[in-house]
Homo-oligomer: A and B are copies of this chain.
Amino acid sequence: MVTMSDVAKLSGVSTMTVSNVINDRAGVSDQVRRRVLEAIRQSGYRINVSARTLRSGRTGVIGLAVPEIDRPYFGHLATHVIAQAKERGFHVAIEETGAGAAGEIDAIAHSHKLQFDGLILSAVGLDPGDSRLSGGDYPIVMLGEQDFSARFDHVAMPNEEGTKAATAHLIDRGCRRIAIVTGAALDGVNVVTRRYHGYLAALAERGLDADPALRFAVDGMTLAGGRAAAHRLADSGHEVDGVVAVSDTVAQGVLRGLADRGLRVPDDVRLVGFDGIPEAAYTVPSLSTVAPDHRWMAAKAVELVTARIDDPSRPAAAYTAPFDLMLRESTR
């Protein structure tokens, strides 16, 4: 390995001068600078980040922890976060937590271990009251899901408002028996319960009854889960003319499951999803969806971590992303 002192020897100066050249510090004559740069080129020297970090305490890397990177929503989110971080001179390392509290706690620990300067955590399993969250002053921004606003910086999704708008839209289109395909965890405050409450709120506001028999829970927020739920729904014998899905991926599964049972969308059943993933515009029929502004969310999250990295004592801030209700063929 080529070290600074190798470069120093090669160019006939001290390591300190090499360091000054590398870090673009003032007080190096042009002639020496050139000689050092040439020596660096020749030797193929690369700075050792561990050594530098050991001294400076900064790595320039932000961690992004998501439940499952193969879920389109998180893939898109990651792409945006990477772009935003790059603009601020940070690098992003992605971590997969596996949608459980344990994985999320692990991600925080790893984040320390790998010496990221800060962490953006898309927590779905973690409870805000979890005692293991008592980490201290490490810069963590919660993205999208649970409400940790009191203790952490937080960029929330418009879960209730969005699902409420989606449900109201179905009612406007004439639906009266509206089912919801929701997640399994219906206690606590999380993305699933909040979206469920948005659905209930819209029904209540329009004077419709919420029939518990029209609530179908999926195990994971997956295509398979959505499909299975649609099968149960179709086989239940309940007349349903509208379906609110907890996410676009689940909605895609529902779409497939309804097709399996010969139910046509939107003719027999109207369907609306949540997340606004680009894929939703390409299904057949295309999928109406609640689309939070992903770019905005990513920008906000990166802005918050970097701010907290610079000033660990600043008060926690909370924002909620704006959203669009994208109307497509599935609710025509």
Interface residues of A, Cβ cutoff 8 Å to B: 44, 46-51, 53-54, 59, 61, 68-72, 74-76, 78-79, 82, 91, 93-96, 110, 112-115, 136, 223, 227, 252-253, 255-256, 259, 278-279, 281-284, 286
Contact = CB atoms under 8 A, between A and B. Distances in A.
A42 to B, nearest CB: 14
A259 B278 contact: no
Contacts of A61: 114
B283 A284 contact: yes
Contact of A223 (B93, B112, B282): B282
B91 A278 contact: no
Q: How many copies does the complex hold?
A: 2
A108 to B, nearest CB: 11
Contact of A113 (B46, B70, B136): B46
Contacts of A75: 69-72, 74-75
Contacts of A255: 282, 284
28 contacts: A46-B112, A47-B113, A49-B113, A50-B50, A50-B115, A51-B54, A69-B69, A69-B75, A69-B78, A69-B79, A69-B82, A70-B78, A70-B79, A74-B75, A75-B75, A78-B96, A91-B110, A91-B114, A93-B95, A223-B278, A223-B279, A223-B281, A223-B282, A227-B282, A252-B279, A253-B282, A256-B286, A283-B284
Contacts of A113: 46-47, 49
Nearest to A222: B278
A105 to B, nearest CB: 14
A249 B301 CA distance: 29
